[in-house]
Amino acid sequence: MDGRLFGTNGVRGVVNEDMTADLALRLGKAIGAALGGDVAVATDTRASADMMRAAVSSGIMAAGSDVHDLGVLPTPALQHYVRAHGGVKGGVMVTASHNPPQFNGVKYISSDGTEASREEEEGVEAMCSQEAPCVPWGSVGAVRKVAGAGEAYVDSVVSKVDAEAIKAAGLRVCLDCANGAACETTPMLLERLGVAAVTINCNPQGCPGRPSEPTEENLSDLLAMTRATGSDLGIAHDGDADRCVFVAGDGTYVSGDKSLALLSRHALSKRKGAVVTPVSTSSLVEEVVNGAGGSVVYTKVGAPTVARRMIEARAVFGGEENGGLIFPEHQYCRDAGMAVATMLECIAREGPLGGQVSTLPVYHTVKRKVGCPEGMKADVLRHIAGESAGARVDDTDGVKAIFDDGWVLARPSGTEPLFRIFSESKDERVASSRADRYEAAVREYLGRRFD
* Alpha carbon distance 199, 290 (integer Å): 37
Strand order in the sheet with 67-72: 11-14, 103-109, 88-94, 38-43, 67-72, 143-145
- Given the complex with Mg ion, which of 327 and 419 has the nearer CB atom? 327
What is the total count of residues that contact Mg ion (CB under 5 A)?
4
- Given the complex with Mg ion, which of 216 and 379 has the nearer CB atom? 216
Per-residue x/- marks for Mg ion, 96-125, CB under 5 A? -x----------------------------
* Alpha carbon distance 399, 406 (integer Å): 14
- Given the complex with Mg ion, which of 194 and 209 has the nearer CB atom? 209
Q: Which stretch binds Mg ion (CB under 5 A): 89-97, 251-259, 353-361, 442-450?
A: 89-97
What's the number of CA atoms in the CB half-sphere (13 Å) around residue 40? 31
Strand order in the sheet with 295-299: 295-299, 274-278, 317-319, 325-327, 331-334
- How many other β-carbons are positioned within 10 Å of the β-carbon of residue 361? 12
* Alpha carbon distance 141, 443 (integer Å): 56
Q: Closest residue to Mg ion, Cβ-based?
A: 97
Report the Cα–Cα distance between both ends of the chain, in Å, rounded: 37
Give min distance, CB of 91 to Mg ion, in A: 15
Q: Is 57 a catalytic residue?
A: no
Q: Which stretch binds Mg ion (CB under 5 A): 48-56, 95-103, 218-226, 246-254?
A: 95-103
Closest Cα to residue 377, out of 302, 445, 280?
A: 445
Site for Mg ion in 220-259 (CB under 5 A): 238, 240, 242
- Given the complex with Mg ion, which of 97 and 280 has the nearer CB atom? 97
- Given the complex with Mg ion, which of 45 and 388 has the nearer CB atom? 45
Asked if residue 249 lies in contact with residue 233, where contact means CB atoms within 8 angstroms, the answer is: yes
Per-position DSSP letters for 376-414, written without gaps between them: GHHHHHHHHHHT-TTSEEE-SSSEEEEETTEEEEEEE-S
Residue of 48, 57, 58, 97 with catalytic role: 97
Catalytic residue ranges? 97
Judged by the rule CB under 5 A, the positions of this chain that interact with Mg ion are 97, 238, 240, 242
